[in-house]
């Protein structure tokens, strides 16, 4: 959930209504490919192309999965680390 929020908020602030004008929804989702938007009749802003938007979208997807993986790994390491006196005996 945290990784989604971290990527969805910047996507909506930087891409939705700045680079692409979506005709059907107000809150964009970076997992929807740009060619679906294009087929729906959405338009791009000056200086943007559908290919450039698709590359940015893929970067956001990668960022989502990278953040998710990092947070999951950290939590796994925290919950699996040895604790207490019993752990000290095992390490000695």
Q: What is the pLDDT of residues 2-47, one digit of tens each?
A: 888 888 888 888 887 788 887 776 556 777 778 787 887 888 889 9
Which runs of consecutive H residues, i.e. helices, occur in the chain? 2-14, 34-39, 50-80, 84-91
Residues 1, 30: Cα–Cα separation, whole Å: 14
Dihedral angle over CA of 43, 21, 37, 63, nearest 10: 120
Using a cut of 0.85, tell me whether the model's pTM lies above it.
Answer: no
Q: Give 73's strand partners.
A: none
**Of the candidates 72, 69, 57, 75, which has an alpha carbon nearest to the alpha carbon of residue 8?**
57
**Of the candidates 81, 75, 28, 77, which has an alpha carbon nearest to the alpha carbon of residue 53?**
28
Q: What percentage of the chain exceeds 90 in pLDDT?
A: 29
């Amino acid at each position: 959930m945290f990784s989604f929020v971290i990527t969805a908020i910047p996507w909506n602030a930087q891409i939705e209504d700045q680079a692409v004008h979506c005709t059907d929804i107000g809150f964009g989702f970076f997992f929807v490919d740009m060619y679906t938007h294009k087929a729906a009749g959405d338009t791009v802003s000056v200086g943007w192309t559908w290919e450039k938007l698709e590359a940015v979208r893929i970067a956001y997807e990668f960022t989502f999965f990278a953040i998710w993986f990092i947070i999951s790994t950290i939590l796994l390491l925290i919950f699996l680390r040895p604790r207490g006196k019993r752990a000290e005996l095992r390490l000695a």
